A and B are shown apart, each in its own frame.
Chain A
Amino acid sequence: MIRAAIAVLLAATFATPAAAQDFAAGSEAKPWGLYAEAPARFTATVSDALCAVTGDCPADCGAGRRQMVLMREADGVLVFPMKNAQPVFSGAASELLPFCGQRVEVDGLLITDPDLGAENVYLVQRIRAEGAAEWTAANQWTKDWQAANPGATGKGPWFRRDPRINAAIDATGYFGLGLDQDAAILKGLAE
């Protein structure tokens, strides 16, 4: 609760109108060619999402179970980093967890598409704690996955070797409709 209160107070203290901010300034984010992307580099306080939204705030930000968020210092806006820098279906929570409760600078891509409800959605590419000289690349996810799945060896990217995913495909197929229907769909695709 103290962490949440500090985050709120910091955000309030430094709040200025969002329209006055230029979050692209100084960004070195690599473009992904997404329709609604814009480079954004800013300072924020790291929290877990459940804490920031509901006030349920474990000191360890949930120890990796929870999604993580960024309370942007310039305007108090809650930014949701949904994606890390790796193009392999990997999120951002484990990249931000080491910075739980800290003020950080982040660089990446903001996704804004009001037609789809995408506001303050973020792809984080690099992170550094306040005062640190070096950036940490937000590309640790696959190393964490391999450490958690030492037996998932073989060829191909992690998502072809993940035991939980493969068990689900074995049970209900690639389309999730059951094995009989899956076989019929695959037969049609093969023809």
Chain B
Amino acid sequence: MTLPRRIAATLSLALAALALVAPLPAAAASPAEGEAVTLTGEFIDTWCYFSGVMGGPDAVIGSAHHTCAMWCSAGGIPVGLLTGDGQVYMILSIEGDDASNGGDAQFALASATVTAEGRVWRRDGLNYLTVSKILGNDGITRLTHEDYGPVPDFAVPAEALK
């Protein structure tokens, strides 16, 4: 075997061994395409929803939590789309705008129920969504303030109640 052939054979064996002992993460297998979807759900503040820091999941959606949802969106906390089946989709871009860190497009939709088409990736327990088009915006549909008031209670400052 010539030297170049021996090097090539050695490299091939090394790569094959690496593939056996260290399978690539799922994203490496199909990073580009995702799954085409059309989803309807509420633009939520994912930190308050996932962490429970402000209360249970029913209290941190809808009108009760709208001001806090704006605070968190403007503060750079990731925004998610909560669908009717309880799935949360982490929103990475909206109609080509990749400003998922406090951007205006996601801020303007805080707490709104929208229908969107886009692509979904599932990775290590989380769903990720790129929205290609907002098909409809029903505004805030969950009137959770009727049960919870403002969440957190200081979302409405004392002077606004005078």
With an 8 Å Cβ cutoff, the count of chain A residues facing the other chain is 67
Residues on B with C-beta less than 8 A from A164 are 74, 104, 107
Does any Cβ of B come within 8 Å of A77's Cβ? yes
Contacts of B130 in A (CB 8 A): 50, 54
Chain A residues with Cβ below 8 Å from B66 are 174-176
Contact status B52-A174, CB under 8 Å: no
B51–A186 touching, CB < 8 Å = no
Given the known A-B contacts A12-B28, A65-B98, A65-B103, are A50 and B140 also in contact in the complex, defined by CB atoms under 8 Å?
A: no
Which residue of chain A has the shortest Cβ distance to B88 in the bound complex?
A117
Pick from A13, A94, A114, A169 the residue with the most CB of B within 10 Å: A169
A6 CB to closest chain B CB (Å) equals 12
B92 at the interface (CB under 8 A from A): yes
A141 cross-chain contacts in B, Cβ below 8 A: 75-76
Within 8 A of A (CB), among B95-122: 98-104, 107, 110-112, 119, 121
Closest chain-A Cβ to B98's Cβ sits at a distance in Å of 6
Contact A62 B98 (CB under 8 A): yes
Interface bracket on B: 35 or more
Determine whether the beta carbon of A53 is less than 8 Å from that of B161. Answer: no
Nearest-neighbour CB distance to chain B for A85, whole angstroms, equals 13
A90 touches B77 (CB 8 A): yes
CB contacts under 8 Å to A, within B112-162, are 112, 119, 121, 123-128, 130, 139-140, 143, 145, 149-150, 155-157, 160-162
Complex CA distance for A53 and B126, rounded to whole angstroms: 11
A92 to B51, CA, bound (A): 15
Contact B101 A120, beta carbon cutoff 8 Å: no
For A159, give its contact among B71, B78, B87, B149 (CB under 8 Å). Answer: B71
* Cβ–Cβ < 8 Å partners of B27 in chain A: 8, 52-53, 55, 78
Least CB separation from A159: chain B residue: B71
Are B128 and A49 in contact, with the CB atoms below 8 A?
yes
Q: Contact partner of A189 among B18, B63, B101, B161, CB < 8 A?
A: B161
A84-122, CB < 8 A from B: 88-94, 111, 113-114, 116-121
Which of A12, A83, A94 has most B Cβ within 10 Å? A83
Interface residues of chain A, those whose CB is within 8 Å of chain B, are 4, 8, 11-15, 32, 34-37, 49-50, 52-56, 62, 64-68, 76-80, 82-83, 88-94, 111, 113-114, 116-121, 123, 141, 145, 158-160, 162, 164-165, 168-169, 174-177, 185-186, 189-190
6 closest Cβ pairs, A-B complex: A119-B125, A91-B76, A118-B50, A55-B31, A176-B66, A89-B71
Q: Can you spell out 12 A-B residue pairs with CB atoms less than 8 angstroms apart?
A: A4-B31, A14-B22, A15-B25, A53-B31, A54-B128, A80-B126, A83-B47, A117-B50, A119-B124, A123-B51, A174-B67, A176-B140
Given A34-B51, A91-B77, A177-B63, 4 extra CB contacts under 8 A: A62-B101, A78-B126, A120-B124, A175-B150
